[in-house]
Amino acid sequence: MIVYKIKLEQFEGPLDLLLFFIKRDELNIYDIPISHITKEYLEYVNFIKILDLEIAGDFILMASTLVHIKARMLLPREIDEKGDEIDPRAELIQALLEYKKYKEVSEELSFYESNQRKIKFRGNFDADVSETPPEYEILLKNVSIYDLAKAFKRAIEEIKEEPVHQIRKLNISIDEQIDFIFSQFKDKTELHFLTLVENMKEKIRVVITFIALLELVKMSSVGIKESTNYNDFILYRIENGQDLQFNN
């Protein structure tokens, strides 16, 4: 059996993931609802396991830390030397605030660096500047990697387990699923992800289709935007750099 591995680079570490949840759900960083955020964090870690991804040790450590804090929140609060209650979340909150501060500084420096690269200095005018990397923020319209993950997880979970009496090898390639995705558009410019995979019975086929979709986004052939349907997203065709949904 061929194992396909994907690296999700959206989150640089466990603190980055926690900050994403806090920002997305508009939570108070000084009063984190630990039960809610622990559930979300564990769902993300379980999703990575489904894809058979390499999980860094600090993600697993943070998962155990959140569970430990959640358990301490259910017990009577400890008292410090001054007679004040000790908040089990205090160390986590302090770490998040420090990380948030350095992340904001890093983003500001990246912004200045990006602007600096747009300046054309006198020098080698023969350099080929026609090939520029795609701006993924434009292709992913109000959709984060976590939204893609939740939609993919739902598609996997909705496949019913069936008794297998015969061992057979499925030869499915990414190129074949890229062609399949294009064939599903036909005369349409938009397509729901769950509609794309609804008739797939094998989990590996859904996995390879999902990888093919990410490759199409990378090639700027397909874009992704949010859907009103829970745990789903919409694909739209792009040809010659033009967004077809706005040209028809």
pLDDT in tens, 133-155: 555 555 666 677 667 777 877 88
pLDDT above 80 for 239: no
Return the pLDDT at 68. 86
Ranges for all domains in the chain classified under CATH 1.10.10.580: 136-160+172-246
Q: What is the mean predicted confidence (pLDDT) over 35-57? A: 72
Task: State pTM to two decimals.
Answer: 0.41
Structure confidence by residue, pLDDT tens digits, 111-135? 766 666 666 555 554 544 445 555 5
Return all residues near 1 (Cβ < 8 A) that are at least 6 apart. 169
The more confident residue out of 33 and 244 is 33
Q: Report the candidate in 90, 86, 74 with the shortest Cα–Cα distance to residue 29.
A: 90
Model confidence pLDDT, tens digit, residues 162-212: 666 565 666 788 899 999 999 998 878 898 999 899 888 888 888 899 999
* Number of residues that this document lists for the chain: 248
Is 248's pLDDT higher than 50? Answer: no
Lowest mean pLDDT among 16-20, 81-85, 112-116, 125-129: 125-129
The confidence band for 36, taking pLDDT boundaries of 50, 70 and 90, is confident
**86-108 pLDDT per residue, tens:** 888 888 888 888 888 888 877 77
Give the per-residue pLDDT at 179: 92
Q: Which residues pair with 242 in a beta bridge?
A: 239
Beta bridge partners, 87, equal none
**First-to-last CA distance in the chain?**
43
Q: Which CATH architecture has domain 136-160+172-246?
A: Orthogonal Bundle (1.10)
Instruction: Output the six-digit token pair for 155.
Output: 């598609």
* Residue written as token pair 């062609």: 179
Cα 146 from Cα 143, distance rounded (Å) = 8
Q: Which residue has the higher pLDDT, 24 or 1?
A: 24
Q: Which two tokens stand for residue 128?
A: 């080929």
Q: What does the DSSP assignment read for the chain?
A: ---------S-SSHHHHHHHHHHHTT--TTS--HHHHHHHHHHHHHHHHHTTPPPPHHHHHHHHHHHHHHHHHHSPPPB-TTSPBPPTTHHHHHHHHHHHHHHHHHHHHHHHHHHHHT---SS-TTS--------HHHHEES--HHHHHHHHHHHHHTSPP----S-------HHHHHHHHHHHHTT-SEEEHHHHHTT---HHHHHHHHHHHHHHHHTTSEEEEE-SSTT-EEEEEEETTEEGGGT-
Instruction: Give the pLDDT band (50/70/90) at residue 2.
Output: very low
Q: pLDDT at position 245, please?
A: 47
- Whether 49 has a pLDDT exceeding 50, the answer reads yes
